[in-house]
Structure 1
Amino acid sequence: MEAYSKMAKVYDELIYEDVNYEKIANFILNLCNKMAINKENYLDLACGTGNVAQYIGKNFKLNYLVDLSEEMLMEADKKLRFSKVKAKIICQDMCELNLNKKFDLITCVLDSTNYILEDSELEDYLEGVHQHLNENGVFVLDINSYYKLSEVLGNNIYTYSTDEVFYSWENVFEDDIVDMDLTFFVKNGELYERFNEFHQERAYKEEFLEKKFKNAGFIIKEKYNGYSEEKVLKNTERIVYVLTKSLGYI
């Protein structure tokens, strides 16, 4: 089953119900202002249901949203229409990015990069972003840290319950990969519909990932502990990278 296929309609209530999307968007927009980034073209990769793009997109003339899940994109389309944000919504693998356009801002947030499991796909993803980024543009991404995936999520079980939804989330961490087996019960009338989703995230060590950035032609302009001005610590759970193109890179 394609990841998020059945979960799309309840996604916002579940995994990221406590995430402040507007705060993330404002943090990224403030970065753009400090770096004097043009606000012409914006691309959000692995956009999900458009939670971040609905805020950032209001500040750009042209917006593109890319995700591999058609169901998630359908929810994003509804959300952006409601927010009156014009966007081109495209179902595409971000490791095979081909939009024939360059952007001033590209984002890939909420640990979507961790879903890339193979070195070759990671390299294709970074190369694709590099090709689609304007010379003076900025690429903002975040990852679940190695600490979070191995120590916080890895080999643990979580549950969530309301009158409308119940789910269990069982994790196994092995060989730098966390397997996440999720079972959902979602109320549908008087009954509950059950479905399962299986996800995998790769735990990237900072040194490895940062070398990949450099090899792809990026410079790390900033590195943050979450969407804050704080420095990355040993127990940081989300690392935010701000990348620009290396001068003279071919």
Structure 2
Amino acid sequence: MSYQTFAQVYDAIMDETLYERWGNFVDQELQNKKQTVLELACGTGALAIMLKKRGYAVTGLDLSANMLSLANERAWAEGLQLPLIEGDMLDLSEVGKYDAVTCFSDSICYMPHKEAVLSVFKEVYQTLNDSGMFLFDVHSLYQIDEVFPGYMYNDQSEDISFLWKSYSGDSEHSIEHDLTFFVYEEESDKYERFDETHKERTYPLVVYYDMLQQAGFTSIKTSAEFGETEVKDDSPRWFFVCKK
């Protein structure tokens, strides 16, 4: 799959309006836009570029070299220099220190078990400067246990047909998403099929609190709807603001 096609496929499953809401959440919590920010799981760079435009000194980190290549292309197209690191959030020992670390789009939920989540929290804590902030979101129990099982979504454009089906995973509070794309390839004048399975897992709020405290965080605040409301039983996402 070419980089351009890869970008089309990735963007096909993203709601672009969410980037603005994540950006507003960062503004609300950090306030000082001159802070250095490490964005974990930055993907194709859409949010990192938005934060850069808002005045933050952003560095993006992602496990995928393909994603980072696309992020770099996007940054150059916008006339921006965006430092990018190919790395794993399970080991941030070589990335330097930052005033804030962000990790959105439920990327924490891709960790396979609690030990991995705790490891990420510990790595982030060590990466933050004194009084640094860690902002992230995760799927709620309601979203994983009630909304996603049996969920189906289909979408079609001129170049891409997209099928999404979700079902409960083997572990408690886990979900698996089967994604199928049919992407038009101009050279062959045919649609090519791509299949992916994404596995996610979440935990009760008290478990997240316990892991964050084990990592060293003492000030932990939770909310829903991008910081706009309190957490409710049917909140789809939980948002965390943690201070070192």
User: What is the TM-score of this pair, normalised by structure 2?
Assistant: 0.89
Q: After alignment, is 64-73 or 76-85 more displaced?
A: 76-85
1:216 alignment counterpart: 215
C-alpha separation in 2, matches of 1:140 and 1:148 = 20
Report the 3-state secondary structure (helix = DSSP H, G, I; strand = E; otherwise coil) of the residue aligned with 1:148: helix
Report the 3-state secondary structure (helix = DSSP H, G, I; strand = E; otherwise coil) of the residue aligned with 1:101: coil
Trace 1:44-193 onto structure 2 (pairs within 5 A).
44-60=39-55, 62-174=57-169, 175=171, 176-189=173-186, 190-193=189-192
Q: Which runs of 5+ in 2 are unaligned?
A: none
The answer (yes or no) to whether the contact 1:47–1:53 under 8 Å persists in 2 is yes
Q: Which runs of 5+ in 1 are unaligned?
A: 246-250
Q: After alignment, is 224-233 or 192-201 more displaced?
A: 224-233
1:217 corresponds to which letter in structure 2?
Answer: G
2:15 alignment counterpart: 17
C-alpha separation in 2, matches of 1:6 and 1:95 = 29
Task: Check if 1:31 corresponds to 2:29.
Answer: yes
Distance 1:121 1:80, change over 3 A: same
1:206 alignment counterpart: 205
The answer (yes or no) to whether the contact 1:38–1:104 under 8 Å persists in 2 is no
Distance 1:201 1:186, change over 3 A: same
C-alpha separation in 2, matches of 1:122 and 1:201 = 12
C-alpha separation in 2, matches of 1:181 and 1:7 = 19
Distance 1:6 1:75, change over 3 A: closer
The answer (yes or no) to whether the contact 1:62–1:86 under 8 Å persists in 2 is no
1:179 corresponds to which letter in structure 2?
Answer: E
CA-CA distance at 1:56 after TM superposition? 1.1
Q: After alignment, is 57-66 or 215-224 more displaced?
A: 57-66
Report the 3-state secondary structure (helix = DSSP H, G, I; strand = E; otherwise coil) of the residue aligned with 2:90: helix
C-alpha separation in 2, matches of 1:128 and 1:150 = 29
CA-CA distance at 1:32 after TM superposition? 1.0
C-alpha separation in 2, matches of 1:180 and 1:198 = 5
C-alpha separation in 2, matches of 1:197 and 1:211 = 33
Distance 1:20 1:179, change over 3 A: closer
CA-CA distance at 1:76 after TM superposition? 0.9
Q: How many residues align?
A: 238
Distance 1:7 1:218, change over 3 A: farther
User: What is the TM-score of this pair, normalised by structure 1?
Assistant: 0.87
The answer (yes or no) to whether the contact 2:9–2:160 under 8 Å persists in 1 is no
2:185 corresponds to which letter in structure 1?
Answer: N
CA-CA distance at 1:156 after TM superposition? 2.5
Report the 3-state secondary structure (helix = DSSP H, G, I; strand = E; otherwise coil) of the residue aligned with 1:52: helix
CA-CA distance at 1:221 after TM superposition? 4.0
The answer (yes or no) to whether the contact 2:36–2:58 under 8 Å persists in 1 is yes
Question: What fraction of aligned residue pairs are identical, expressed as a percent?
Answer: 29
- The superposition leaves residues 171-199 of structure 1 with CA deviations (integer Å, 9 ceiling, x where unpaired) of 22132221111111011123111111111
Distance 1:170 1:12, change over 3 A: closer
The answer (yes or no) to whether the contact 1:221–1:243 under 8 Å persists in 2 is yes
